[in-house]
Structure 1
Amino acid sequence: MARCQCGGDGCNCVVQAGDGTTVTGSGSVVNPYVVSAFTDCAGVRGCLSAGPGITFDQASGAIGADVSTTPGNNLVIDGDGLFVPTGAATVQTGCGLVGDGSGSAPVAVNSQSWPFTCDLEAAGGGVYCGTDDVLYSDPPVRQSFQQASVNVVPASPVAVPSASTVVRTLDLTVTNPDPCRSANAIVMRQIDVQFDLPANGGAAGAGINSDEVQYMRNSGSTATTAWHNQNVVLHNFTVPAGGSIVVSLDLTMARGAGGATWNNAQLVTRAWLFSNPT
């Protein structure tokens, strides 16, 4: 070190330690300067930070792998390090599904061929996912039969009125058992009235809801007793999903003449309900 006027066993150069360094020795051949540098972990941590896939704890200095929590990620950390289980890139399918999720075997519904002559897209039903993560199909079609009847037997024969008169009313509450769809209801109203018709002009008529369905006049010379005729009328109604309607059958009588009386009346109302996909 000529510029420091070094020679022999001495040197006039001054070497001073800076931050993080130490200087030992006198600069002689047998005792040269030794410059050492040192930093501790705390000094290095400020230069480090976490990044994608890496975690870093400034307090402890621990560096680790940052495993994504995004659903579908199969990477785990076990006792040996990072680990992806065998087959993690595929899935195991259960009932109704095929494929393993790979490019050559994507997961698909294990469907059947449409066996009907109608168009699938136009007539096919639906498949739905419930809040319990179970698949459900369209609700089943429901049908129902409901009936009400009454047999009216007066204590003694009753004169048939000349003007249209409601003699008895039978109500049937028709309830749709389908909570999902409206129902078509076919309703049958039926009456059967027995009349006693005196000779030479005894006459009587009966009807369903003011619609006269039977009439008889005895023009003979002998009385007719217990004459009757069963009559049926059909109607259709729509019953809302889970709802009810009241169907009334009014037995009316009219055109009584010649002392005609009635002694028995049977009223029946029947309903057939069918809920069908719209």
Structure 2
Amino acid sequence: MARCGCGGGLCNCSLVAGENVTIGGSGSPANPYTVSANVGCDAVRGCLSGGNGITYDPGSGVIGAAVSSTPGNNLTAGPDGLFVPTGAATVSTGCGLTGDGSGSSPVAAAVGTWPYPCSPDTAGGVVVCDSNGILRSEPRGTIDYQQIPETRNYADLTVPSDLTVVDTFTLNIVNPDQCRPARVLVEREVDVDFVLPPGAGAAYTHDTDQMYYMRNTGSSTITDAHTQTTKLYQALNALAPGAAAVIQLPVAMDRGSGGATYNRIQVFIRAILISL
């Protein structure tokens, strides 16, 4: 503190130093008062405290980082600061994943290049997480084969002259795929034994499609004349998952003449169920 005319006992300014305070100078313009305060560490330590992530020792006054001891935490306090080793305490990657989870090497899926002319947006498959936390792809494709061979004997029945269904054979099929519909291809075989006296004729069909005709132009009876025929067709375009269906094979005959008869029909019905 200094003002004109103060000093040398000409003013009544009186200053007293308090705790931790020192006063210098005489209060003259040439030698003004100087007040200095010196606060020790012990005086301020009571005002400090630690918190989340911070440690504080009031005895020594040291403030530091509180590093969690939870398993998996790799944060360390080194001589030059806090440090997390690259890739430590992050993830362990394997097939299908790359990276270690650090800022410089984040975890990423190891993907390939789409090699097809179609778009993966519309033709790509799906990967999902199951109830156990395991990645799963779409269901595997299935191909199933179901068949029935059957032979029926008859007591020399007359072959009809007009198209007539004489017997029907069936195959019960089930789509074993519980996820997707199945396309069903069916192969059917028919073999009929005809007895043809001289001049007699006979024919058989799959449904209404005539497959075989035989006429005896000789002078003696032909016993058990037969030929096995086959047809392949698409029976169902989409048999629902787990659904059942009945494949029928109606065997018809016509063009019977001259006392022609039949005594046996043998069939095979084979179904191929494809789910992709």
TM-score relative to the length of structure 2: 0.64
**How far is the alpha carbon of 1:219 from its aligned partner?**
3.1
Residue 130 (structure 2) aligns with: 130
Quote the Cα distance in structure 2 between the aligned partners of 1:120 and 1:104. 29
- The equivalences for 1:194-209 within 5 A come to 194-200=193-199, 202-209=200-207
Letter in 1 for 2:204: A
* Percentage of pairs with the same residue: 37
Kindly indicate whether the alpha-carbon contact (under 8 Å) linking 1:193 and 1:262 is maintained by their aligned counterparts in 2.
Answer: yes
Aligned to 1:259, the other structure's residue is in SS state: coil
Instruction: Render the CA deviation track for 1:120-148: whole Å, top value 9, x for unaligned.
Output: 55543221111221100111110010001
- The equivalences for 1:58-137 within 5 A come to 76=68, 84=75, 91-95=90-94, 96-114=96-114, 120-137=120-137
Letter in 2 for 1:227: A
Q: After TM superposition, which residue ranges in structure 1, 4 or more long, deviate above 6 angstroms?
A: none
- The equivalences for 1:146-161 within 5 A come to 146-154=146-154, 156-161=155-160
Quote the Cα distance in structure 1 between the aligned partners of 2:104 and 2:75. 21
Quote the Cα distance in structure 1 between the aligned partners of 2:233 and 2:69. 74
**How far is the alpha carbon of 1:224 from its aligned partner?**
2.1
Residue 251 (structure 2) aligns with: 251
Quote the Cα distance in structure 1 between the aligned partners of 2:240 and 2:117. 30
Residue 212 (structure 2) aligns with: 214
Aligned to 2:145, the other structure's residue is in SS state: strand
Letter in 2 for 1:216: M
Quote the Cα distance in structure 1 between the aligned partners of 2:208 and 2:188. 13
1:226 and 2:224 aligned: yes
Q: Which runs of 5+ in 2 are unaligned?
A: 1-50, 54-66, 77-83
Kindly indicate whether the alpha-carbon contact (under 8 Å) linking 1:98 and 1:108 is maintained by their aligned counterparts in 2.
Answer: yes
Letter in 2 for 1:131: S
Aligned to 2:227, the other structure's residue is in SS state: strand
Residue 185 (structure 2) aligns with: 186
Quote the Cα distance in structure 2 between the aligned partners of 1:124 and 1:224. 62
**How far is the alpha carbon of 1:53 from its aligned partner?**
5.6
Kindly indicate whether the alpha-carbon contact (under 8 Å) linking 1:205 and 1:212 is maintained by their aligned counterparts in 2.
Answer: yes
Kindly indicate whether the alpha-carbon contact (under 8 Å) linking 1:90 and 1:100 is maintained by their aligned counterparts in 2.
Answer: no
Kindly indicate whether the alpha-carbon contact (under 8 Å) linking 1:149 and 1:170 is maintained by their aligned counterparts in 2.
Answer: no
Instruction: Render the CA deviation track for 1:69-128: whole Å, top value 9, x for unaligned.
Output: xxxxxx7478xxxx9565598511233322122221011113345566765555432211
Alpha-carbon RMSD across the aligned residues, in angstroms, is 2.9
**How far is the alpha carbon of 1:187 from its aligned partner?**
0.2
Quote the Cα distance in structure 2 between the aligned partners of 1:245 and 1:91. 54
1:266 and 2:266 aligned: yes
TM-score relative to the length of structure 1: 0.64
Letter in 1 for 2:175: N
